[in-house]
Every structure is written in structure tokens, then in C-alpha cells.
A and B are shown apart, each in its own frame.
Chain A
């Protein structure tokens, strides 16, 4: 039960990270004195959610994934581990770096003064969203591969 709770919180933090990045993208489009504080808060929320997803997911990966990996590799979709999990676990570092960078870009980027500065923040948000969607897609395939393998037994 504990390992399932850990896994679910990894997914939930990841989804919230993506949603906050979408909200931040939209807010930066209309950056003004009125919403600047919210923009800063959103940038921190993206960073915190992705970091928590990394810590919780990393804990689950190190503690529990070994057993799941053996089931996947013996099942019908062994490539769910050899491709999707391998790619996911290494692409995650890119998403993590971009998420940590986001508050730095927002706080020092002069959002109200220039179009390029707004584009930088929006570009980073977009990269986080795209990477996040790939994480969710890969996670779905990995989860399904375990179901497929167990059904076959």
C-alpha cells in the first residue's frame, strides 16, 4: 500500500507541475504589475512540484522498481523497460533542470520590460510541458506493460 501511495504521489506532483507550467505560460502572456506576484508564485510551484515528483519517484524507483522491472522484462512488452523507462529516467533530469531554472528566469528576467524575457520564460514552460507529457505517456506504457505481463501469467 505504501509503495502505491508513493507512486501515486509521484504522478500527482508531475501532473501538477505540468498544469502549473501551463498556467504560468498563460500568465506570462499577459504579464503586468497586477499578476507579477502570481507569476513568481507559479514559477516556484512548478519547481517544487517537479522536485517533489523527482524525489518521490526516485525513492520508488530505487526501492521498488526492481521487482516491477523483472515482471516487465518477462512479459509481452519488455521494451517498456528497455526503452521507455530508460529514456524516461534520463529525460527527467532535463525537466528537473528546466524546472529549477524557471524561478531564476522569472525573478531576474525583466518580464515587464521585454518581449524576449517573456519568451524565455514561456519557452522554458513549453519545454517542461512537452517533457512532462512524454513522462506521463511513458509512465502509462510502463504501467500497462506490468498489467499485460501479469495477465499472461
Chain B
């Protein structure tokens, strides 16, 4: 049976979710290694984590609409989006877990 095409918002926001998950890890590394960025984040919304969250969620929504408006969704099926999401979670999660891993030495 031929797979039905998924709706363009499902594809666009799926792609956006994968990109935002990776962006989340990237922002973490940048703000934790650059004091100026960290202070800028703190000054924007009072707490670096609040600013970080606002940027990530904002990017997810914005990229979702942008990707949905392009012809990218026409070339993607649900299987490929799931693959992108799984890899984004593995890569993004590993960067986050790996970045703080040296702090675990105190536990050993």
C-alpha cells in the first residue's frame, strides 16, 4: 500500500523540531563557554535559562512556519522526519550530557 503524504505543517514543524533540538545544544555550549553571552542572556530576561528557553521555543515556531512555507515538506515522508528527530535527540542529548560529564568526576 502506498503511504499517504503527510501534511506540510507536520513535515515543516518536524524538520524545525530536529533543527531546534540541535540549536538547543549549540546555545548551551556557546553560553557556557562564553561569559559575555551568558551575561547577555541573564540581562535579557533575568535568568540565562529563561532566555535560552525563549530562544529555542521561538526558533522552533519560527522555523516551523518557514519550513512549512517552502517546498521542503514535499520531499519528506514521515519515516525520514522520524529519523531526523531521533538523530537530533541522540546528537543534541549527547552534546548536553557530554558537556557536563567532567563534573561527574567528583562522584567517582
Interface pair A86/B3, CB less than 8 Å apart:
no
Q: Which residues of A contact B107 (CB under 8 A)?
A: 77, 79, 83
Q: Which of B78, B86, B96 contacts A87 (CB 8 A)?
A: B96
Q: Which of B21, B47, B86 contacts A62 (CB 8 A)?
A: B47
Interface pair B24/A93, CB less than 8 Å apart:
yes
Known: A79-B104, A117-B6, A127-B86. A97 touches B21 (CB 8 A): yes
Q: Which of A82, A93, A98 contacts B85 (CB 8 A)?
A: A98
Chain B interface category by residue count:
35 or more
Q: Which residues of B contact A (CB under 8 A)?
A: 1, 3-10, 13-14, 17, 20-21, 24-25, 28, 46-47, 49-50, 52-53, 56-57, 60, 64, 77-79, 81-82, 85-86, 89, 92-93, 96-97, 100-101, 103-104, 106-107
Q: Which residues of A contact B (CB under 8 A)?
A: 54, 58, 61-62, 77-79, 82-83, 86-87, 89-91, 93-94, 96-98, 100-101, 104-105, 107-110, 113-117, 119-120, 123-124, 127, 131
